């Protein structure tokens, strides 16, 4: 049990840093560097050695980490876990200050599909990156920043002024989701107030800030809930619980055979069709670079001749005690009863009979339970990274994830045992030699 508590505590510490996709990649990089991983650049050849540990970050919100086995021909077999770093939420628009009744709110746009009403009355903060003036015109300096303290709140309208609020009222993002930043003092500068805060936080002159890519995030911390503390309540569980599990499995596993890899991709919540998303050629290019850079005695196989197996790890919908009718009638994953294998005949998930069976054997080897998830036939779900990865690389893929509740809420819920089991399954996967 002490081992479990350590993982939970470390996960909560990781989540305090992993506030946006950019900050998540920074936290992953910090972890890998602490474990002796070597950073690679996209320019120039790679000379990858047996037993080597490497990572590269082609874009600020994407990172690929991998380890090379100590055998003679590591490029013949690749075991990969694919996860995504982004979460539904809100991005701050340019010229965001809105002076309303002497109070300053920020103009935001929705990213992905958040459950809007869960964002009311919660402490919120700001993180992302800014571009600062530099001597090289086409390469401005980019600074990552995270205020790491409550700056904003989106206050609800009192029920006395909105009598129908509990009957289901449509929420308009443009009007109702503007977070409150401050009450303006009469002599304060009205325009550029946020710019001044950012400049002070980043330690730069406000005149040198050229552009800002900033997101609003829930600044509440994770905690254990339930009479036996059997559940984890935390913002951004989807998909940072799988990000953490995959990262820990990679840095904590040792292997003789093949290459172990985790692909931390961005923009899954908006379709992945970006340069740092799964629906791009970037990952296949990286795999080819690894193949060509691997030092071995035997001839290097082509990507088509390489044995690829991918676990696409994205959270699954668990059985809700108040909405049992929303689940499939015979496949109802329950929290703390095993990781869910996600299946869809419409190929929104990439699992197929061979890869499903393989994952079941993997769970048996790891000594953990598994369940199967299929969407309700009248309630189609979303898609994952799995089908997109197989467009560019000849891989076998299984889609899995921890069962959870309140997906896309400002605060989500998963089983503590499922979370712990996911780390064990992923570590077992990376340590397989056959």
- DSSP classification of residue 274: S
Sequential DSSP letters for 200-253: HHHTS-GGGEEEEEEEEEE-PPPEEESTTS-EEEETTHHHHHHHHHHHHHHHT-
Q: Tens place of pLDDT for every residue, the chain, 434 residues?
A: 334 448 999 999 999 999 999 999 999 999 999 999 999 998 888 989 889 999 999 999 999 999 998 876 666 789 999 999 999 999 999 999 998 888 999 999 999 999 999 999 999 999 999 999 999 999 999 999 999 999 999 999 999 999 999 998 899 999 999 999 998 765 555 568 999 999 999 999 999 999 999 999 999 999 999 999 999 999 999 999 999 999 999 999 888 888 999 999 999 999 999 999 999 999 999 998 988 887 665 666 777 788 999 999 999 999 999 999 999 999 999 999 999 999 999 989 999 999 999 999 999 999 999 999 999 999 888 889 999 998 888 899 999 999 999 999 999 999 999 999 999 999 999 999 87
Sequential DSSP letters for 111-172: ES---GGGGTT--EEEEEEEEE--SSTTS-EEEEEE--S--BB-PPPPGGG-TTGGG-----
- DSSP classification of residue 75: G
Ordered structural domains, the chain, with CATH: 2-87+236-431 (3.40.630.10), 89-218 (2.30.250.10)
Distance between CA atoms of 379 and 376, rounded to whole angstroms? 5
Calculate Rg over the CA atoms of the chain: 23
Please answer whether residues 247 and 65 qualify as being in contact, where contact means their C-beta atoms are separated by less than 8 angstroms: yes
User: Under DSSP, is residue 188 helix (H, G, I), strand (E, B) or coil?
Assistant: coil
C-alpha torsion angle, residues 18, 22, 28, 32 (rounded to 10): -150
Distance between CA atoms of 380 and 50, rounded to whole angstroms? 45
Distance between CA atoms of 50 and 158, rounded to whole angstroms? 63
C-alpha neighbours within 13 Å on the C-beta side of residue 429: 33
pLDDT of 73: 64
Distance between CA atoms of 27 and 10, rounded to whole angstroms? 12
Distance between CA atoms of 191 and 95, rounded to whole angstroms? 9
Please give the structure tokens belonging to residue 288: 């080819």
CB count in 10 Å sphere of residue 147:
18
Residues in the chain: 434
What residue ranges in 235-317 does DSSP mark as E strands? 259-265, 307-313, 316-317
């Amino acid at each position: 049990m002490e081992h479990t508590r350590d993982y939970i505590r470390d996960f909560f510490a990781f989540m305090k840093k992993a506030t946006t996709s950019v900050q998540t990649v920074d936290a992953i990089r910090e972890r890998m560097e602490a474990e002796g991983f070597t950073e690679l650049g996209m320019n120039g050849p790679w000379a990858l050695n047996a037993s080597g540990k490497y990572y590269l970050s082609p874009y600020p919100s994407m990172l690929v980490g991998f380890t090379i086995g100590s055998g003679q021909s590591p490029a013949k077999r690749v075991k990969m876990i694919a996860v995504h770093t982004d979460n539904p939420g809100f991005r701050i628009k340019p010229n965001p200050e809105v002076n309303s009744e002497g109070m300053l709110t920020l103009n935001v746009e929705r990213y992905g599909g958040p459950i809007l009403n869960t964002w009311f009355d919660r402490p919120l903060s700001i993180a992302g990156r800014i571009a600062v003036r530099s001597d090289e015109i086409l390469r401005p300096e980019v600074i990552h920043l995270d205020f790491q303290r409550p700056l904003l709140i989106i206050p609800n309208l009192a029920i006395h002024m909105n009598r129908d609020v509990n009957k289901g009222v449509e929420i308009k993002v443009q009007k109702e989701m503007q977070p409150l930043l401050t009450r303006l003092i009469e002599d304060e500068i009205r325009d550029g107030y946020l710019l001044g805060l950012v400049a002070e936080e980043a330690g730069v002159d406000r005149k040198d800030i050229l552009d800002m890519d900033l997101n609003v995030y829930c600044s509440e911390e994770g905690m254990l809930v339930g009479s036996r503390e059997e559940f984890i309540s935390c913002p951004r569980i989807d998909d940072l619980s799988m990000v953490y599990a995959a990262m820990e499995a990679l840095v904590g596993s040792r292997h003789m055979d093949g290459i172990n890899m985790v692909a931390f991709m961005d923009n899954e919540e908006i379709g992945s069709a970006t340069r740092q998303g799964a629906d791009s050629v970037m990952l296949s290019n990286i795999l080819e670079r690894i193949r060509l850079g691997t030092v071995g005695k035997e001839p290097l196989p082509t990507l088509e001749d390489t044995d690829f197996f991918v676990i696409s790890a994205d959270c699954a919908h668990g059985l809700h005690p108040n909405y049992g009718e929303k689940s499939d009638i015979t496949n109802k994953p329950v929290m703390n009863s095993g990781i869910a294998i996600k299946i869809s005949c419409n190929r929104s998930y990439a699992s197929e009979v061979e890869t499903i069976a393989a994952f079941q054997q993997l769970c048996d080897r790891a000594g953990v339970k598994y369940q199967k998830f299929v969407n309700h036939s009248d309630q189609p779900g979303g898609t994952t990274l799995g089908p997109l990865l197989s467009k560019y690389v000849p891989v076998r893929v299984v889609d899995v994830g921890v069962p959870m509740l309140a997906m896309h809420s400002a605060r989500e819920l998963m089983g503590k045992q499922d979370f712990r089991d996911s780390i064990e399954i992923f570590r077992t996967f990376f340590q397989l030699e056959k």
